[in-house]
Amino acid sequence: MGGDGFRELKVWQRAKDLAVLIYRITDTGGIARDFGLKDQIRRAAVSVPSNSALSSRPVPPRLKKTA
């Protein structure tokens, strides 16, 4: 994967771009005034690139399944 690891993944790049867009959208209009909804939407948006980055890491030997 190279030096940047998960940053090279297309899924991570697109999910990050979407999260940035969602942050911008939730700063305007009615959603900006409803902190609970705004916070929940933002956390959901960030979870996708975060989970993609975590799943791109190698599995430690102690967690690998043995046949």
Q: For the segment 11-55, what is each residue's pLDDT rounded down to a tens digit?
A: 999 999 999 999 999 999 888 899 999 999 999 999 988 888 877
Number of folded domains that form the chain? 1
Neighbours of 41 (CB within 10 A): 16
User: Does any domain span residue 19?
Assistant: yes
pLDDT at 52: 83
pLDDT band at 7 (very low <50, low <70, confident <90, very high): confident
User: Does any domain span residue 66?
Assistant: no
pLDDT at 65: 75
Neighbours of 42 (CB within 10 A): 17
Prediction pTM value: 0.73
Residue 18, token pair as written in the block: 């979407």
Which residue range forms the structural domain that includes residue 44?
5-56
CA distances from 59 to 9, 12, 46, 51, 56 (A): 17, 19, 23, 14, 9
